[in-house]
A and B are shown apart, each in its own frame.
Chain A
């Protein structure tokens, strides 16, 4: 048995296909990105090695990069501060909905499985000042002074984008918290009831503290996916108006493919990966500390 399970030949054939794909599609390309990040390559022709020049420019002088990073962080913070409390609240309420629980759970999750292209184009239509439904709704409820071009206003556009990403991401956050609420052992509810806790105390003092491990998971996932967010912006505003909705992924895409600054784009992409890795690792360490146990 032991001999069979450490047969080098079998191990090679088990591991090789997966690693060939992973290395050739993810690891090697990232290595290439690092290499070209140190050059001034424009995509075709010759290039020179310029050391840390690209990285220096990005960190010190690139206004658009700064805007992209700030927008990504704004999106992340808004998601955690607005979307997650709502998700927790609804995941608790829904458990009291009896036989409607399953239906509601499905309904709340559906936006999460809609194609990003559909989501982006659909919301662009909702925001459209000519035929969009948002302005019509505002007029119908007597807020016609609020109507405007939601994606054309540089101060508001990023918030219009944030709403879209929240709509799409809500189901996922909700599902995680819902699983957390469902995972609380029945005995704890019983015990709290016997101790005379009212429903409000029960949730604030017993259930929500027990959700801490799930919050950690949900927050890490939200942070990573917010930092990686790009398609919605690419399809709705392409970073505009005037770079006000720029995000890291979209900016690196524009730099490399539209402005043909391939070396520079790769340097952005390397910094992007480093930012994601650092935030993930730090968050993991930081949030692990106060994990409650069941």
Chain B
């Protein structure tokens, strides 16, 4: 009660200040920033707008058109002809397994580097750093040959393993940064109670590390969900293709059905945008931590 009494006048003071400072400069600032925001989003607005037009309306001079009536059918034909559903399932499966595997492996590695004492830890850390600097494209050709040799082309593993590999370095560094802040006394207490490494790791450390795990998982989700070039190289059979393929397929097969092409693009973009709106803070944290370590 007392607290409330203290804070209420403060807030009103701040509000008054804000109102007072709504000067000409502020108005110009808001208008300017609104234009910048609009320009940045404009391509996406155009995409959603045109996905609802029927093909005849495409060639007008208008910049954004009010669809009359909105052609929701483009979404239906995108869904039925673009293989969206099976590809969606593949994307979900590959993404979730990769994200979970990356998280698991990164916790183990991070623990080995922050707590365990071993001779070659510096060397191994450098190898991981090297993995971070190698462009994905440089591994496309040799991995294609290897997967071909061992019969792994056209399988979920041909995507899960390289996705995991390329997400490990940065994820491990983010989790490491977080683990370093956990006081060692917590583990010492657990050792007193007779716990071994694995029990400490999964019963004590893992629950504390959850925020960092959440961060890397969301960032890795977006990476895997949007990944294209590896999927395009290692997968040729319909059964294993992921969502980005449906655009390529659609453009190839129904090159004049612009509305449906735009609908497929919207269908692929929407899950990422929703994910981002839900987890803005986690994603920002992940990107910041990743960039500072990198």
* A contacts, CB < 8 Å to B: 1-2, 4-8, 10-11, 13-15, 17-19, 21-22, 24-30, 32-33, 36, 90, 93-94, 96-98, 100, 104, 106-111, 113-118, 121-123, 125-126, 130-131, 133, 136-137, 139-140, 167, 170, 172, 175-176, 179, 217-218, 220-221, 224, 227-228, 230-231, 234-235, 248-249, 252-253, 256-257, 262, 265-266, 269-270, 272-273, 276-277, 280
Contact = CB atoms under 8 A, between A and B. Distances in A.
Contacts of B63: 133, 136-137, 140
Contacts of A7: 116, 197
Nearest to A124: B251
Contact of A26 (B46, B50, B165): B165
Interface of B: 18, 26, 29-30, 32-33, 36-37, 40-41, 43-44, 46-47, 50, 58-59, 61-63, 104-106, 108-109, 111-112, 115-118, 124, 127-128, 130-131, 133-146, 161-162, 164-166, 168-169, 172, 187-188, 191, 196-198, 222, 225-226, 228-229, 233, 243-244, 247-248, 251, 258, 261-262, 265, 268-269, 272-273, 275-277, 280, 283-284, 287-288, 291-292, 294
Contacts of B33: 90, 93-94, 97, 100, 104
Contacts of A133: 46, 63
A24 B117 CA distance: 25
A4 B292 CA distance: 32
Given A97-B29, A133-B63, A266-B141, A110 B112 contact: no
24 contacts: A6-B116, A11-B112, A15-B124, A17-B105, A18-B168, A18-B172, A21-B161, A25-B143, A25-B166, A27-B130, A30-B139, A104-B37, A109-B276, A111-B44, A113-B275, A116-B226, A125-B261, A125-B262, A131-B59, A137-B63, A175-B287, A257-B141, A273-B134, A276-B135
Given A24-B161, A125-B262, 11 more contacts: A6-B117, A8-B118, A19-B127, A25-B162, A25-B166, A26-B134, A29-B139, A29-B146, A109-B280, A136-B61, A234-B229
A261 to B, nearest CB: 11
B116 A5 contact: yes
Helix, strand, loop or mixed for chain B's interface? helix
A2 B118 CA distance: 11
A249 B29 contact: no
Contacts of B262: 125
Contacts of B275: 113
Contacts of A231: 228-229
- 6 closest residue pairs by CB, A with B: A25-B165, A29-B142, A115-B226, A249-B137, A32-B142, A14-B112
Contact of A18 (B108, B134, B187, B288): B108
A257 B236 CA distance: 14
Contacts of B44: 110-111, 114, 122
B247 A121 contact: yes
Nearest to B272: A113
A224 to B, nearest CB: 7
A224 B142 CA distance: 22
A14 B108 contact: yes
B46 to A, nearest CB: 5
A21 B133 contact: no
B75 to A, nearest CB: 15
Given A11-B112, A107-B41, A4 B136 contact: no
A273 B143 CA distance: 16
Contacts of A10: 116, 197-198
A93 B29 contact: yes
A123 B43 contact: yes
Given A96-B29, A137-B63, A25 B161 contact: yes
Given A1-B191, A17-B108, A131-B258, A106 B247 contact: no
Given A32-B146, A140-B63, A4 B161 contact: no
B30 A97 contact: yes
A121 B251 contact: yes
